[in-house]
Amino acid sequence: MDTRVGIIGAGPAGLLLGRILQANGIDTVIIEQRSQAYINARIRAGVLEQGTVDTLREYDVAERLNREGLPHDDMKLFWDGARHSIPMIGDHGRQLTTYGQNKIVEDLVNLREKDGLPLIFEAEVTAIEGLPDNPVIHYTKDGVAHTLRCEFVAGCDGYHGAARKHIPDAARHSFEKEFPFAWFGILAEAESSGETRGFGHTTRGLAVSSSRGPDISRLYLQVDPEFDANSMTDDQIWDELDLRLKNQYGQKVSRGPIIDKAVARLRAFVCEKLHYGRLALAGDACHIVPPSGAKGLNLACGDVRLLSEAIVALLKNNDARLLERYDALALSRIWPTVHWSCLMSEAFHLFPGQSEFDTRRQYQTLNHWAYNETGQRWFRESMLGLPFPRY
């Protein structure tokens, strides 16, 4: 099979890129190593910036989002035994919306199926040959090797994907930081606290409570990086949430059946080379942010907007100038966002061996974000997200 653009990965980045290219009359094939059921059930991000919501609306992916998305007016932060509320409405009504990443993925897959566009599940890309100019994707499905000749390849295959390593080592400068903790995330059929999102600095480590709907709660606990998701019973998990959120901050935590549990290590990663010839990366394939800032999916969406425009210019007008600017423009949003996500992580978690002095310093950061006019504006703008860059 041949196509114009071969997209590796059916996460939000790959699926959205496919949708935008389709709207521009460019054929794509998406190759995804997991099954459809697996990607539909993968619970991850939930906080969407206005730019992400606007993009989904622009490309007609927002029918369910418009019905079920929960807009935020403020954000609750808890530290030093007190609750604080930071207004979250920006200029021109810009705000955050809660809507699960799994729903975005499902919405995009359903639209792609409805349009009869190729999306090959359970197919693993093993190599890309012919770079920089004539890429051929090699993948295996059901134990059989296949090739896909393309005019362009988009590596939207996440942090562990295959695409990034096809950028020559000499050009691929990467930067990485691993935090000494992880997030244990649960999804529960439980009445939410009434807060769209509450972030707690507690004496037992960070705790986050958020609502994914009237009867669905998403909660996170800071845990050790080696934590085993099955090492606590459901009752023990609820007890720990009570110890952190209810007992220390009076935050209501309603209990209910836990329907998903997962542990994610916190790391930050940036690859500063985003394209090589006719291969380009977008989303987690070229950057990872710790989830504290709720930015990964939003960054992916910003990359895809830029990359899609560059691919359209290249394939329709044989104009590579936008692609040449893609790396620098995307990185102008990636690095500040990575920085912000790291600051959020540093302010809310307990580090191994942390002293009372260190904790007092974290409180000063949080006081500044909540009560200093400049700090509050910066916090709000960072949470709402930098505007998507444009060429």
Report helix, strand or coil for 170.
Answer: helix
**Residue closer to ligand RFL (CB basis): 82 or 127:** 127
Q: Which is nearer to ligand RFL, 183 or 379 (CB)?
A: 183
Tell me how far apart the terminal alpha carbons of the chain are, to the nearest angstrom: 33
Hey, which residues does 152 pair with through a beta bridge? 5
For residue 3, give the amino acid letter: T
Rank residues 260 and 364 by Cβ distance to ligand RFL and give the closer one. 260
Tell the smallest beta-carbon distance from residue 158 to ligand RFL (Å): 3
Distances (CA, A) of 199 to 210, 221, 258, 310: 9, 10, 20, 38
Q: What amino acid is encoded at 144 in this protein?
A: V
CA dihedral 338, 198, 107, 267 (to 10 degrees): 30
Which residue, 54 or 124, is less far from ligand RFL as judged by CB?
Answer: 124
Contact call for residues 184 and 220 (beta carbons, < 8 A): yes
How far apart are CB 266 and ligand RFL at their closest, in Å? 8
Bridging pattern class, strands 28-31 and 2-8: parallel
Nearest approach, Cβ of residue 350 and ligand RFL (Å): 18
Q: Closer to ligand RFL at the Cβ: 81 or 180?
A: 180
| CB 31, CB 280: distance < 8 Å | no
| Helix, strand or coil, per DSSP, at residue 366 | helix
Closest separation in Å from C-beta 256 to ligand RFL:
20
Nearest CA to 279 out of 155, 149, 121 is that of 155
Tell me the β-bridge partners of 180.
Answer: none
**Closer CB to ligand RFL, residue 222 or residue 248?**
222
CA dihedral in degrees (35, 39, 41, 42; nearest 10)? 130
Q: How far is the CB of 230 from ligand RFL (least distance, A)?
A: 17
CB of 299 to ligand RFL, least distance (A): 7
CB of 206 to ligand RFL, least distance (A): 12
> Of 219 and 245, which CB lies nearer to ligand RFL in the complex structure?
219
Q: Which residues, other chains included, contact 157 with Cβ-Cβ below 8 Å and sequence gap of 6+?
A: 8, 9, 11, 14, 125, 163, 285
Cβ contact 306:326 at 8 Å: yes
Q: How far apart are CA 192 and CA 214, in angstroms?
A: 6
- Name the site residues for ligand RFL (rule: CB under 6 A): 8-14, 31-34, 39, 44-47, 101, 124-125, 156-158, 161-162, 183, 185, 264, 283-284, 291, 294-298, 300
CB of 8 to ligand RFL, least distance (A): 5
Token look-up 């959120």 returns 245
Tell me how far apart the alpha carbons of residues 19 and 312 are, in angstroms, rounded to a whole number: 13
The nearer residue to ligand RFL, 27 or 124, going by C-beta atoms, is 124
Minimum CB separation from ligand RFL for residue 328, in Å?
20
CB nearer to ligand RFL: pick between 113 and 358: 113
| C-alpha–C-alpha distance, residues 106 and 113, integer Å | 10
